[in-house]
Amino acid sequence: MNSSVCEVLEFVKENDVKFVRLGFCDPFGFQKNISIMADELSFAFENGVSFDAHAIKGFRDVMRSDLLLFPDPATFMVLPWRPGPGRVARFYCDIKNPDGSVFPHDGRYLLKRVIEGCEKMGYTCMIGAECEFYLFKIGEDGEPTGVTLDKGGYLDISPLDRGEDIRREICLTLEEMGIKPESSHHEQGPGQNEIDFKFGNALESADNLLTFKSVVKSVAARNGLFASFMPKPIPTAAGSGLHINLSLAQNGINIFKNVSEGHSNIVESFIAGILSKTAEITLFLNPLANSYERFGAFEAPKYLSWSHQNRSQLVRIPAAIGEKVRMELRSPDPSINPHLAFALILAAGLEGIEKGLILPPAVDADLYTAPESVISNLTLLPDSLDQAIHLARDSKFVHSVMGEEMLTKYLAIKETEAADFAAAEDKERFYKERYFNLI
């Protein structure tokens, strides 16, 4: 065993950890886990823990249904909301076949593979997430209602903002788990909140986003509330976005520069690569039929464009200095599988560098009010789940990153979802029944 595994086992033994959750994420962003007793952890590190992969959408057929979870010691966390005696810890896991080979449909594996390619090119990608969510009241039957916690708006304070204590508890819980929140506030919608946490490497940030969502859900439930990461839970209010901030480091130095210093050619090609592929990967950045209700309003993008500071754009270069200079991709929403999404975004940027793509001119206009003469020259983002499926299916780039078998299974499941949505007479009812209680 390596030293980190030994250190984890020693910690578990000395700190009354009795239960261990082995977590992973299915291709569609839903977190799963198996709980084992702490004295089984050594065996899990060495041999893995078996589960029925046929029961996980998009994984395996019934004839080859066994897969193994191997806990990643770097992801070890004690869950603060499950105190002793008998504390609970959690790992995220790598998924392997029974013969010990890597399971190629594991989103974590795909992201690791793209990260390795990035490092071979001499770069480290840093990612930070700004995640929005709604807080709803729970009814007498214990089910979430459509009634928001408050009627506050952007940056409001108490008493209009009734979520500040919840956000405070979430931030403190994240800190206990080693995740650094940077800011939190009330967002535009009633009962809508945002918490931003410190950037890290791509794998760490994807894992942390999963942890963040589980913490938000748990803290909300503990306070008698329901937290929703559905992209557009209220038709007339702001949707919930997941703004993804990316920068590149070379030899430990951020090569994104302040606008006054001028962009480097590498950075411009990286951004150009992401712009060129966003339409093709939108299925993985906005994976629900409900995702497309969000585009084009309340500062959510609609076109493939970029600019400095401008929040009507797909890619925004925020005003920042030093290590915080970055690009912000504004189309994704919180329903993603972060490992898949980050892998595709990063791979798109790296392809832009490899091909030396030229960044098109900035669109310095408010795209919500811009005249036809401006927007007629811009390419639209997909406006439906069905269109996003078609673009992904026809994309050589998506096929190359995901592999044929995984993509085929993913598309088949999403095609069924899109067909169900098309057949639904009441779209709002479809959203509520299909997504609201789950996302």
For the domain made up of 113-436, the CATH class stated in words is alpha beta
What pLDDT is attached to residue 259? 57
User: What is the pLDDT confidence band of residue 63, given thresholds at 50, 70 and 90?
Assistant: confident
pLDDT at 214 over 60: yes
Tell me, what's the pLDDT at 261? 63
The Cα 290–Cα 287 span in angstroms is 8
What pLDDT was estimated at residue 323?
80
Say how far apart CA 186 and CA 238 lie, in whole Å. Answer: 12
> Count of CB atoms within 10 A of residue 62's CB?
9
Give first-to-last CA distance, the chain, whole Å: 38
Q: Would you place residue 1 in the very low, low, confident or very high pLDDT band (cuts 50, 70, 90)?
A: very low
**CA proximity to 343, closest of 351, 331, 333, 353:** 351
Q: Over 209-254, what HEC string results?
A: HHHHHHHHHHHHHHCCEEEECCCCCCCCCCCCCEEEEEEEEECCEE
Percent of the chain with pLDDT over 90: 84
Question: Phi and psi for 223 in degrees, rounded to 5?
Answer: -100, 20
Question: Distance between CA atoms of 166 and 194, rounded to whole angstroms?
Answer: 11
What pLDDT, on the 0 to 100 scale, is given for residue 85? 80
Instruction: Give residue 149's pLDDT band: very low, low, confident or very high (50, 70, 90).
Output: very high
Does residue 149 contact residue 226 with C-beta atoms inside 8 Å? Answer: no
Identify whether the C-beta of residue 139 lies closer than 8 Å to the C-beta of residue 146.
Answer: no
Share of the chain above pLDDT 70, in %: 98
Tell me the per-residue pLDDT of 375-405, one tens digit each, with 9 for 90 and over: 888 999 999 999 999 999 999 999 999 999 9
- Could you list the beta-strand ranges (E) of 38-98: 49-52, 66-71, 77-78, 87-96
What CATH code is assigned to 3-101? 3.10.20.70
Identify which of 27, 21, 22 has the alpha carbon closest to the alpha carbon of residue 335: 27
Q: Say if residue 237's pLDDT is above 90.
A: yes
Enumerate the domain spans of the chain: 3-101, 113-436
Q: What is the mean pLDDT of residues 12-22?
A: 94
Among the ranges given (144-158, 169-183, 250-264), the one the predictor scored with the smallest mean pLDDT: 250-264
pTM here is: 0.95
| pLDDT over 70 at 83, yes or no | no
**pLDDT per position as a tens digit, 167-213:** 999 999 999 999 989 999 999 999 999 999 888 999 999 999 999 99
Phi/psi at 34 (5° precision)? -120, 135
The pLDDT value recorded for residue 257 is 76
Q: pLDDT at residue 142 above 60?
A: yes
Across the chain, what does the average pLDDT equal?
Answer: 94
The mean per-residue pLDDT over the stretch 47-63 comes to 91
Q: Given this chain, do its domains 3-101 and 113-436 carry the same CATH topology?
A: no
**Confidence band for 154, pLDDT divided at 50, 70 and 90:** very high
What's the confidence (pLDDT) of residue 258? 64
Mean pLDDT of 336-357: 98
Distances from the Cα of 188 to the Cα of 220, 236, 263, angstroms: 19, 12, 32
